[in-house]
Each structure stands twice: as C-alpha cells, then as structure tokens.
C-alpha cells in the first residue's frame, strides 16, 4: 500500500514537471498574443485618428476656387468700367460697381452708360488697383423720395444708424477680378465737414495708420479694431439727411 502511494506521488510529480513548462509556455504565448492584439488595436486607432485629423486639416485648408464673373458682366452691359460687385447679406445690397476717370460720371449714368439720375455705385477713380490699395472708397446715391427707394439699394446703408443693425450685420463681400474680399464693418460715422475718408493715397505705412485713427475718431458706433500697417480698409459713402448736407460712412476692415 505504501509502495502504491509512493508511485502515485511520483506520477503526480512527473506530471507537474511536464505540465508546468507547457502551461508557462501557453501563458507566455497568450500574453504575447494579447499584447500583439492590443498593439494592433492601438496602431489602428492611431492611424484612424491621424486620418481623421488629416481630413479635418484638408477640409479647413480647402478654399473654394474663385470664379471671376466680371468679364461676363462687362459683356452683358457692354461696359468695361464694371470693376467689381459688392454684396452685404441681409441688407438687400448686391450691386456691380463701376470706375472711370472721375468721381462724377456715374452720379448720372447707369451700368449701360445711359444717362440716368439714379446713377450707379462707383469706386473712387484713384483706386486703380483694387487688389492692393490700402483703402477703397465706394460711393452711391441716397434719396428721400420713396418712389425710387427700391432703385437705390445703397439707401439701405441708412439701417446702420440703428445699433442693432450695426451689431448684427458686419459682413461685406467685394468681388474683384483677382478675388473675393471679405470685410468686417468696424465703424459707422456721420460727417459734415470732416473729409478724412477722402485721403486714400498714402506715402508710407505710418501715414496710413495715422489716417485710420483719424478716420475712426468720433464714430457713431464702432468695434474694438486696431488698424495696423498690414490692414486694408473699405469705406462706403452715401448722402445723409440728419443733419441735412451730411454724409453717412460705413467703414470696413479686410478680414
């Protein structure tokens, strides 16, 4: 009996000696396989995240190609003086803008170059390079005649004398031959004898910055907008009737 028990113990001992390495190897294999799977999962997750980030960056970098519509407009109206189009969302302003050799012709001529007291919006004649000029001025008619209000969209600029309109309608888009330019309205100003906005040619950057400070002074409404030598401005001018003989300026800064 004693001998039999001894044999059983010997068998168990040998079995353990044999099984332990196998179990150890299996454990090592399973652990290694688990580690490999985790590594693969982490790698796949990292790749997916990188792809998502790459797609996001590509989406952010994507800029819709600019299609210049002005050549077609010039052909439609048979007018080579059409130099741009201005759009102010929610203000019913979406008009072609002309330019000629003076600041009077388009006060009394329309886009077809036919005499018309309604006129057409026009750039200052000194704005000879709309893509690089530091300040661009656009002029348009205003009226108190209700019968022709709908023919003079620039009259809608009068809405900017309401602070809520100023606060909620800051975007202006100008389409020129080279590109679409986005401006943000930074000030509304009513002037009588102040003609600082008519200074649009500058000898150097210092004079431009000095001019911008004078331009923005005494504004009816304004945003905190520091003007630097790198900035470009847009000024829209119409007649104003309070007080009589004054002008309303909508001043924008390129975004």
pLDDT tens string 160-202: 999 999 999 999 999 999 999 999 999 999 999 999 999 999 9
Distance, in Å, from the CA atom of 40 to the CA atom of 167, rounded to the nearest integer, reads: 53
Instruction: Give residue-wise pLDDT tens across range 79-137.
Output: 999 999 999 999 999 999 999 999 999 999 999 999 999 999 999 999 999 999 999 99
- Whether the per-residue pLDDT at 24 is higher than 70: the answer is yes
pTM of the model: 0.77
Contact 123, 84 (CB under 8 A): yes
**Contacts of the segment 101-108: beta carbons below 8 A, 24+ positions apart:** 101/125, 103/139, 106/81, 107/141
Residues 6+ apart with CB under 8 A from 116: 108, 109, 110
Q: Which of 116, 113, 119 is nearest to 139 (CA)?
A: 119
What are φ and ψ of residue 134, in 5° steps?
-70, -30
């Amino acid at each position: 009996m004693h001998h039999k028990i001894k044999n059983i113990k010997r068998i168990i001992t040998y079995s353990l000696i044999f099984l332990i390495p196998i179990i150890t190897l299996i454990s090592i294999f399973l652990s290694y396989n688990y580690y490999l799977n985790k590594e693969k999962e982490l790698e796949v997750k990292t790749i997916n995240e990188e792809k998502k980030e790459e797609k996001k960056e590509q989406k952010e970098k994507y800029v819709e190609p600019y299609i210049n519509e002005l050549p077609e407009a010039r052909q439609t109206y048979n007018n080579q003086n059409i130099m741009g189009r201005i759009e102010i969302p929610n203000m019913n302003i979406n008009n072609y803008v002309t330019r000629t050799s003076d600041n009077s012709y388009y006060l009394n001529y329309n886009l077809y170059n036919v005499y018309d007291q309604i006129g057409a919006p026009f750039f200052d004649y000194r704005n000879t390079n709309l893509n690089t000029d530091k300040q661009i001025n656009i002029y348009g008619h205003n009226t108190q005649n209700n019968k022709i209000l709908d023919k003079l969209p620039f009259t809608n600029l009068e809405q900017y004398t309401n602070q809520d309109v100023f606060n909620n309608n800051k975007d202006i888009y100008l389409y020129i031959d080279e590109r679409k330019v986005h401006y943000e309205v930074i000030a509304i100003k009513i002037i009588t004898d102040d003609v600082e906005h008519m200074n649009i040619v500058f000898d150097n950057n210092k004079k431009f910055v000095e001019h911008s400070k004078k331009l923005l002074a005494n504004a009816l409404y304004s945003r905190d907008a520091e003007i630097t030598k790198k900035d470009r401005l847009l000024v829209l001018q119409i007649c104003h009737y309070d007080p009589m003989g004054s002008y309303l300026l909508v001043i924008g800064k390129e975004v």
